[in-house]
Structure formats: structure tokens, C-alpha cells
């Protein structure tokens, strides 16, 4: 394995994108919803930063971060992964499948919810579903804590295996993703010209990782 840029450090952007292999999804192109480009543009209008702006237009994943947070030393900032499905029926099918798999994995019955859906990616919390888009949220500190670098073996190893056990996080919050991200996506124009939201201030998380 290639050595990270400095001992013990694994870039957050690589960790965030590596999590994508955990949950497969269908290709994007959304005549009855939003495209990946639409989602990228909408979060940019809201004042967030896109961590993968050079991703192909057909890429299903949009990585959203607090504005300017990555430039603040030792700050833990929010990271949202938006997953764009081909249309609303495809998103519903993926939601139902993930929900059933999480129930089977845990051996429990859980209320089906668009606001607190099952975890889709390792290290992220509950999913929020809107039209053909699912969102999950984590923080830079949480993602960085998932792996540890062994300088003697020159290898990375899993440091927090519990974060790879997908199920239902269900924190005592209104949504599985912070409200401002949800509000931004809900304001995205679909068939009509919905009003665009105002900018957002960065949120740093000294109390996390959770």
C-alpha cells in the first residue's frame, strides 16, 4: 500500500470517496427529478462547497462540505454525501431494499421513513430521501477516525469497525441530516422556478466525532 502524505494521515477526501464502494447505486439521469449536476449546482447556490467538482456529469455522488471548513486547521466540519438516482421510482426501490437489508441485519422492525432512513455508507448516519436523491451526513473527524496508519507495516487498518456496521442510527433529531442541508435540497427547482435559498455559514463541530 502506498504511504500517505504524512505518517498517520489519510486524506479526508479519499476516505469520503472510498466509502462509495460500500453501497452500490444505479446510474444517474433524471427526467423526473434532479441530475447530479442539478444537485451540485443547488448546493453551490446555497453556499456549500463541492468536494468533487470535477466528477463526471453522470457520476451518482455529490460530496458536499461546509464552506471553507477544510481550510481551518484541526476543525471538524460536516460532510454530506448526496446520492442521485435515475428517477423517483429508482430511489424508492433503493430505499426499500436498504431498509429491508438493515432490518434483516439487525433482526428488528423499524418504521419506514424518508427523514430517518437506513445508513447507506460506512461512517455516515441515517439517510434522508427527497424525490430521487438520498443524503447521508458525517464529519471530517468521524471519517478520519475510521482508519489508522501502521507505520511499522506501512498499511492502513480499520480503527472503528462499528462504523462499518450499517443499520439505523436514529438520533433524536428531526432529520438524519442537518436541517440546513435538507432545506437547501428541498428548495431546488424541479419543474417550476422555485426560489433560491440564501447563503449558509460554515459549521464547525468541536464535540464530534460521535
Give yes or no for a contact between 176 and 137, defined as CB atoms under 8 angstroms apart.
Answer: yes
Q: How many CB atoms lie within 10 A of CB 164?
A: 13
pTM for the full predicted model: 0.74
Percentage of residues of the chain with pLDDT beyond 70 = 74
Q: Specify the pLDDT at position 209.
A: 36
pLDDT beneath 50, residues of the chain: 1-31, 191-199, 202-210
Torsion angle in degrees (nearest 10) through CA of 3, 60, 185, 34: 160
Q: What is the pLDDT of residues 12-64, one digit of tens each?
A: 444 444 444 344 444 333 346 899 999 999 999 999 999 999 999 889 999 99
Predicted local confidence at residue 43, as pLDDT? 96
How wide is the angle at C-alpha 48 spanned by C-alphas 98 and 66, nearest 5°? 80
Q: Are 34 and 40 in contact (CB under 8 A)?
A: no
Alpha-carbon distance of 155 to 149, in angstroms, equals: 6
Enumerate the domain spans of the chain.
12-186
Amino acid at each position: 500500500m502506498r504511504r500517505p502524505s504524512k505518517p498517520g494521515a489519510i486524506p479526508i477526501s479519499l476516505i469520503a470517496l472510498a466509502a462509495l464502494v460500500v453501497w452500490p447505486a444505479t446510474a444517474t439521469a433524471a427526467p423526473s427529478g434532479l441530475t447530479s449536476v442539478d444537485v451540485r449546482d443547488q448546493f453551490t447556490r446555497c453556499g456549500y462547497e463541492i468536494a468533487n467538482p470535477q466528477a463526471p456529469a453522470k457520476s451518482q455522488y455529490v460530496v458536499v462540505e461546509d464552506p471553507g471548513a477544510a481550510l481551518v486547521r484541526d476543525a471538524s466540519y460536516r460532510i454530506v454525501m448526496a446520492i442521485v438516482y435515475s428517477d423517483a421510482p429508482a430511489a424508492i426501490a433503493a430505499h426499500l431494499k436498504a431498509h429491508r437489508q438493515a432490518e434483516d441485519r439487525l433482526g428488528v422492525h423499524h418504521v419506514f421513513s424518508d427523514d430517518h432512513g437506513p445508513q447507506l455508507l460506512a461512517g455516515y448516519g441515517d439517510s434522508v430521501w427527497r424525490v430521487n436523491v438520498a443524503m447521508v451526513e458525517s464529519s471530517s473527524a468521524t471519517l478520519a477516525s475510521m482508519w489508522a496508519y501502521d507505520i511499522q507495516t506501512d498499511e492502513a487498518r480499520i480503527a472503528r469497525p462499528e462504523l462499518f456496521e450499517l443499520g439505523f442510527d436514529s438520533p433524536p433529531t428531526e432529520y438524519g441530516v442537518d436541517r440546513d442541508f435538507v432545506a437547501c435540497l428541498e428548495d431546488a427547482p424541479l419543474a417550476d422556478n422555485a426560489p433560491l435559498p440564501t447563503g449558509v455559514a460554515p459549521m464547525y463541530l468541536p464535540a464530534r466525532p460521535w
